[in-house]
Amino acid sequence: MPTTVSSTKFGAYGGQYVPPELKKVLDNLDRELKLALKDSKFKKDYKKLMADYVGRPSPLYLAENLSKDLGASIYLKREDLNHTGSHKINNTIGQALLAKRMGKKKVIAETGAGQHGVATATAAALLGMECDIYMGQIDADKQRMNVHRMQLLGARIIVVSGSLKEAVDAALDAYVKDMSVYYLLGSVVGPHPYPFMVREFQKIIGEETRAQILEKENRLPDYLIACVGGGSNAMGLFNAFMQDKNVKKIGVEPAGLGLSTGKHAATLTLGKPGIIHGFRCYLLQDEKGNPAPVHSIASGLDYPGVGPEHSFFKDTLQAEYATVTDKEALSAFKLLSEKEGIIPALESSHAVAHAITLAKAHPGCVMIINLSGRGDKDVEYVLGLDKNGEEDETD
Ligand X SMILES: *Cc1c(COP(=O)(O)O)cnc(C)c1O
Told to check if 95 binds ligand X by CB under 6 A, we report no
Q: Active-site residue among 110, 200, 309, 340? A: 110
Residue from 355, 332, 359 nearest 344 by CA: 332
Nearer to ligand X, 331 or 365 (CB): 331
Is residue 41 flagged as an active site residue? no
CA distance 375 to 155: 23
Q: Which stretch binds ligand X (CB under 6 A): 169-177, 229-237, 241-249, 333-341?
A: 229-237
Cβ atoms of 342 and 80 closer than 8 Å: yes
CA distance 38 to 36: 5
Pairing of the two strands 366-371 and 9-10: unpaired
What residues does 323 pair with on adjacent strands? 253
CA distance 350 to 332: 7
Told to check if 115 binds ligand X by CB under 6 A, we report yes
Told to check if 375 binds ligand X by CB under 6 A, we report no
Nearer to ligand X, 120 or 212 (CB): 120
Q: Active-site residue among 58, 249, 372, 377? A: 372
Interface residue with ligand X among 18, 107, 205, 345 (CB under 6 A) is 345
Told to check if 373 binds ligand X by CB under 6 A, we report yes
CA distance 42 to 127: 14
Is residue 263 flagged as an active site residue? no
Q: Which positions from 149 to 178 touch ligand X by CB under 6 A, shown as an x/- string?
A: ------------------------------
What residues does 322 pair with on adjacent strands? 252
What residues does 252 pair with on adjacent strands? 227, 322
CB of 21 to ligand X, least distance (A): 27
CA distance 338 to 349: 13
CB of 42 to ligand X, least distance (A): 23
CB of 80 to ligand X, least distance (A): 7
Nearer to ligand X, 95 or 348 (CB): 348
Orientation of helix 194-202 relative to helix 308-316, angle to 10°? 80
CA angle 341, 344, 349 (to 5 degrees): 125
CA distance 142 to 163: 11
Note if the bond before 221 is cis, omega within 30 degrees.
no
Interface residue with ligand X among 300, 304, 305, 308 (CB under 6 A) is 300
Residue from 333, 257, 330 nearest 293 by CA: 257
Q: Which stretch binds ligand X (CB under 6 A): 21-29, 155-163, 228-236, 382-390?
A: 228-236
Told to check if 206 binds ligand X by CB under 6 A, we report no
Told to check if 348 binds ligand X by CB under 6 A, we report yes
Told to check if 372 binds ligand X by CB under 6 A, we report yes
Question: Distance between the two ends of the chain, CA-based, in angstroms?
Answer: 41
H/E run at residue 366: strand 366-371
Where in 63-92 is the site for ligand X (CB under 6 A)?
86, 88
CA distance 288 to 304: 15
Count interface residues toward ligand X (CB under 6 A): 20
CA distance 196 to 336: 33
Nearer to ligand X, 86 or 325 (CB): 86
Q: Active-site residue among 88, 203, 249, 314? A: 88
Residue from 84, 197, 100, 192 nearest 145 by CA: 84
Is residue 88 flagged as an active site residue? yes
Interface residue with ligand X among 205, 227, 283, 367 (CB under 6 A) is 227
Nearer to ligand X, 182 or 303 (CB): 303
Q: Which stretch binds ligand X (CB under 6 A): 47-55, 154-162, 322-330, 341-349?
A: 341-349
Told to check if 294 binds ligand X by CB under 6 A, we report no
Nearer to ligand X, 66 or 164 (CB): 164
Told to check if 232 binds ligand X by CB under 6 A, we report yes
Q: Rounded to whole angstroms, what are the CA distances from 276 to 181, 263, 285, 303, 307? A: 22, 19, 10, 10, 11
Q: Which stretch binds ligand X (CB under 6 A): 14-22, 65-73, 100-108, 225-233?
A: 225-233
Told to check if 122 binds ligand X by CB under 6 A, we report no
Query: Catalytic residue numbers?
Result: 88, 110, 372
Question: Residues in the site for ligand X, rule: CB under 6 A?
Answer: 86, 88, 113, 115-116, 187, 227-233, 300-301, 345, 347-348, 372-373
